[in-house]
Amino acid sequence: MQCPVGDDAIRATNDDASECKRCAINLGYWQDKFINFFVKAGERKAPEINRGYYARCTAVGLLIEQFIKRVGEECQIINIGAGFDTLYWRLKSNGLLVKNFVEMDFPNVTAKKCYAIKRNKTLLEQIHSEDGEVKFSPTDLHSANYHLVGVDLRQLSNVQKKLVDSEIDWSVPTLLLAECVLVYVEPEHIRSLLSFLASQLASALFVNYEQVNMDDRFGQIMLSNLRARGCALAGVEACRDLASQQQRFLDTGWDGSKAWSMEEIWNMLPREDRNRIEKIEFLDETELLQQLFQHYCICIGWKDRGQESLSLADLRIDP
Ligand SMILES: C[S@@+](CC[C@H](N)C(=O)[O-])C[C@H]1O[C@@H](n2cnc3c(N)ncnc32)[C@H](O)[C@@H]1O
């Protein structure tokens, strides 16, 4: 079989991420009643991969939960490069409601997600509201508080238009999420996107999960593996180290930024949770897991000047 290249290879990373999540969820790492509606079972993944996904999902979840608790439910979430992520449905089924939720990805990816939602009663039920109808186009979906839009992040004017179509309110506290997305996009496009968001939003938290320490030997091997799969990783320069991850926010108008390697994050998660996870799949040898944890990070950027009461700079991973 021929390997996809360029944008096709980038879109294919969503299939891989969704399969990895489904594998870890079905093994009991965390709960998600919705992932199986979007992706079929694939091969069983290595324990290191499953544990890595658990650490990422848990840490991102903790930040999202704290954000909603701090700013209240009158807030928005924009998931950039959302793929088949199920966050909207998971939050809703946990009773965490937000005013508006927007997902963006390439139109080919959102078309598949629209199709999956349209033919699934459980997914649709969570989107329907008493007053609103659900409007579908082949690539976009608009409802009262959930919007799924197809757009190339490199085309800022289209991104702006799609956000307007999704009824974004720039005055409302907004959480932006990008998990393994920015690394695929040329730095100038990410800078424009981050500057635009910082200039429009009065208060916001950006949660970015992706590669870090890409200049060392292990990082170079990771890069060449991804390149062999056709992914050029155009945005890798921001993944040099934790400082370069933070600097990208500081250079584009955000008030502050903080970054943790996944190694630090794993050690911040509650001991009882780590004990449970370590029993799901036992690891004789933890060197590979450590290397993986050292090469991924979460970097947050915030904007809350004039709204110090939100104290977004104090958000923590260790609960
Ligand atoms: C590795 S997947 C991650 C998906 C999801 N965030 C997750 O963690 O499961 C990367 C996603 O970013 C999207 N993406 C990358 N570059 C993009 C671009 N220029 N415009 C829109 N989406 C893009 C891909 O289509 C893909 O769905």
Report CA(113)–ligand 1 centroid distance (Å): 13
The residue whose two tokens read 């840490």 is: 59
Query: Measured between alpha carbons, how far is 121 from 300 in angstroms, rounded to an integer?
Result: 35
Helix segments in the chain, DSSP class H: 6-26, 47-71, 87-93, 107-118, 121-127, 156-165, 187-200, 217-228, 242-250, 262-268, 271-280, 287-294
Q: What is the 3-state secondary structure (H, E, C) of 92-110?
A: HHCCCCCCEEEEEECHHHH
pLDDT of residue 188 exceeding 90, the answer is yes
Burial zone of 177 (CB within 10 Å; 0-12 exposed, 13-18 middle, 19+ buried): buried
- Ligand 1 pocket member 19 (CB < 6 A): no
Give the pLDDT band (50/70/90) at residue 307.
Answer: confident
Q: Among 2-11, 23-32, 148-157, 261-270, where is mean pLDDT lowest?
A: 2-11
**For the domain that residue 113 is a member of, what is the CATH number?**
3.40.50.150
The residue whose two tokens read 């800078």 is: 191
Query: Measured between alpha carbons, how far is 74 from 96 in angstroms, rounded to an integer?
Result: 11
18 in any annotated domain: yes
Give the pLDDT band (50/70/90) at residue 313.
Answer: confident
- Ligand 1 pocket member 17 (CB < 6 A): yes
268 in any annotated domain: yes
308 in any annotated domain: no
- Ligand 1 pocket member 85 (CB < 6 A): yes
141 in any annotated domain: yes
- Total domain count, the chain: 1
pLDDT of residue 100 exceeding 90, the answer is yes
Q: Among 56-60, 228-232, 278-282, where is mean pLDDT lowest?
A: 228-232
Report CA(280)–ligand 1 centroid distance (Å): 29
The whole domain housing 93 covers: 6-303
Give the pLDDT band (50/70/90) at residue 3.
Answer: low
Among 10, 77, 89, 163, residue to substitute to test ligand 1 (most atoms within 8 Å of Cβ)? 10
71 in any annotated domain: yes
Q: Among 183-192, 237-246, 277-286, 302-311, where is mean pLDDT lowest?
A: 302-311
192 in any annotated domain: yes
- Ligand 1 pocket member 63 (CB < 6 A): no
1 in any annotated domain: no
**For residue 34, what is the DSSP state?**
S
pLDDT of residue 1 exceeding 60, the answer is no
Residue pair 50/42 in contact by the 8 Å Cβ criterion: no
140 in any annotated domain: yes
